[in-house]
A and B are shown apart, each in its own frame.
Chain A
């Protein structure tokens, strides 16, 4: 196969260096483009949609740049698309963060706050943000190939996805509540954790994404 292009969508929200260098690490033959040019995104073979920071600022930039439409087109085209962290949250209907923000609505569901008095099953207080390595219980999907069941990934977030369609949940994580750590619909896959910071398991997921044909 000739060298493929992977577009990492840049909408000005923080550091894309890590995710780009992780992709370059797992796919040295691919061309990784960190880009805000819709033509480059459309021409790419696969698309990674990252995100960090506050959802209000993220959505404001996404809408200003009309990247919500761009993402819809990319997903409709059938090419593999991966959302990461706030990039996953932005795909949902709506987020509770910043007093309530409408999101892109490519996947049904809400983004909820963990809450200031989060507790585990034994009544122990849990810190928020949920920060560190937690286990993901995953379904059967090509993006989990070669990844152990309940492998740990690196999370850092205060809001989590409550999926609107349980059939789209591709992985769950427990932190005071059981939440969607991964969602998928056809050629779209989204993860709450940071695969680019999750060492072996995370790099394996990115490698699987690079090899993915977009079919479940």
Chain B
């Protein structure tokens, strides 16, 4: 008996609609995040991550409503990230039915926010999202720096040290995205994943670059990830969650 590694499909949601598209064979409205989440839930996804990319204030109200609808029908853990900057934002999302919130830029601009959030709501619901890029040159020991604002803004902060600090500040989990790999389908940055996973005692979700099932398994076996997050390989029906789980089981990974 052992804890299962998790597979987490990620939905990018703008104004209450899934963007980047999700194409299921027998689903009428693949733009409705609730329908998409229900489908993943039925397929055996271990959690759902909902990334809110809405910019407008009005859009935020739509997000809260979408989270409420999702929580009423999907009975697996739900993480909501994107635009979480204040204690009030967290309270709103948790009250709407989210189980965890992802904090990214706000943690960088004010690390004390993570501490305050963990004290107020408990570490179990605080996921710190880290976007990291390799900054070391050829032949140097690998080093990664964290970036904010969707990978556009460098911070000068070392990713491994930052992960340690966030764990000390009460983060319950780290969602680690390689900006070098995101969208490439070349697989996770396994060295980065391994470096962060070894540096902290809290669980790590690997993200960025999944193009096939081998990548998912490598994230766990070589990267030391506790969970793997992917979007497009599931959204476009290239692979289903059960196929991913069957493959990972074959590779000796404990799955639910």
Interface residues of A (CB under 8 A from B): 14-15, 17-18, 21-22, 24-25, 52-54, 116-117, 120, 125-135, 137, 150, 152, 154-158, 173-175, 194, 196-199, 202-203
Complex partner residue of A152 from B68, B98, B256, CB under 8 angstroms: B256
Residues of A within 8 A of B186 (CB): none
For the complex of A and B, the 5 pairs showing the least CB-CB separation, nearest first, are A53-B122, A15-B94, A133-B256, A17-B97, A135-B1
**Chain A nearest CB, measured from B72 CB (Å):** 5
Residues of B within 8 A of A198 (CB): 75-76
Complex partner residue of B124 from A52, A125, A134, A203, CB under 8 angstroms: A52
B98 near A15 with CB under 8 A, answer yes
14 contacts between A and B (CB under 8 A): A21-B71, A21-B72, A25-B72, A52-B122, A54-B122, A129-B124, A129-B202, A131-B203, A132-B5, A133-B6, A154-B77, A158-B123, A199-B75, A199-B76
Query: Cβ of B66 < 8 Å from any Cβ of A?
Result: no
**Chain B nearest CB, measured from A176 CB (Å):** 10
Interface string of B29-61 (1 = CB under 8 A from A): 000000000000100001000000000000000
Residues of B within 8 A of A157 (CB): 124
Q: A15-B95, A18-B97, A128-B201 are in contact. Are A197 and B77 (CB under 8 A)?
A: yes
* Least CB separation from A130: chain B residue: B3
**Chain B nearest CB, measured from A193 CB (Å):** 11
Interface string of B72-116 (1 = CB under 8 A from A): 110111000000000000000011111100000000000000000
Total A-B residue contacts, Cβ distance less than 8 Å: 109
B173 near A133 with CB under 8 A, answer no
A156 near B76 with CB under 8 A, answer no
Q: A22-B75, A203-B75 are in contact. Are A132 and B227 (CB under 8 A)?
A: yes
A131 near B172 with CB under 8 A, answer yes
Chain A CB count within 10 A is highest, among B2, B75, B202, for: B75
Cα distance A129–B204 in the bound complex, in angstroms: 11
B75 near A127 with CB under 8 A, answer no
**Chain B nearest CB, measured from A101 CB (Å):** 14
**Chain A nearest CB, measured from B183 CB (Å):** 27
B201 near A131 with CB under 8 A, answer no
Cα distance A210–B41 in the bound complex, in angstroms: 23
Complex partner residue of B121 from A53, A156, A196, CB under 8 angstroms: A53
Residues of A within 8 A of B68 (CB): 17
Query: Cβ of B243 < 8 Å from any Cβ of A?
Result: no
**Chain A nearest CB, measured from B196 CB (Å):** 12
A131 near B124 with CB under 8 A, answer yes
* Least CB separation from B124: chain A residue: A156
Cα distance A173–B202 in the bound complex, in angstroms: 19
Residues of A within 8 A of B226 (CB): 127, 131-132
Cα distance A133–B125 in the bound complex, in angstroms: 16
Query: Cβ of B4 < 8 Å from any Cβ of A?
Result: yes
Cα distance A130–B125 in the bound complex, in angstroms: 13
**Chain A nearest CB, measured from B75 CB (Å):** 5
